[in-house]
Amino acid sequence: MLLLYFVMSFWFAVAVIAELCFGQSGLMVPLTALSGFYFTVTSRWDRVVVPLAVAFTLLDLSYGRLVPVSTLLIPFLLVAGSYWRQHGNTRSLATQVLPGCMIGVAAFVTTSLYAASYGMNSGRSLDFLPLRTAVQSFATGGCAMPVLVVVLDTVMRAFGLRRYSVTNNYVGRGGSDE
């Protein structure tokens, strides 16, 4: 279990740094939220909540937000990850676009709540934020989730930890698991 905490902490640090780099270039890619969803699917939610809360708090502090709005995503990610582990198809990469898009929209909503409440530090108008950022977070979440699954499954396999793609007992319409 200590190895799992090490891998999660390291990966959350990488996700926060990558998300900040994407954010500097104007892209909203919710890598930290997607990573939290991945780890919630592969392990119990109580193992994920503290490292995820720390990562979200660091992300919000790095963006200079007065209120840690990213932490509002934690209950959603824990419930969605637990549900997806039981009822979703984790074996097909194509179906990972769905939770990726949902998480992208949820990340957009929390960011919009902050922007509407406290304004944006960059001086941009809030009029242009919702449509562009909503489409962008929806698309980047959907595109990033399958890539994240492949990368993190490779890392988890190297450490001998539970992988996303073999997590649940989902059986497709054909009745076989092949």
Residue ranges per structural domain of the chain: 2-163
Residues whose CB falls within 8 Å of the CB of residue 83, separated by 6 or more in sequence, listed in order: none
Please say if the pLDDT value at position 176 is more than 50.
Answer: no
Band (pLDDT 50/70/90 cuts) for residue 170 is very low
Q: Which CATH class is domain 2-163?
A: mainly alpha
Angle at alpha carbon of residue 18, lines to 15 and 52, rounded to 5°? 20
* Residue 31 burial (CB count, 10 A): 27
Is the pTM of the predicted complex or chain greater than 0.75?
yes
pLDDT band at 154 (very low <50, low <70, confident <90, very high): very high
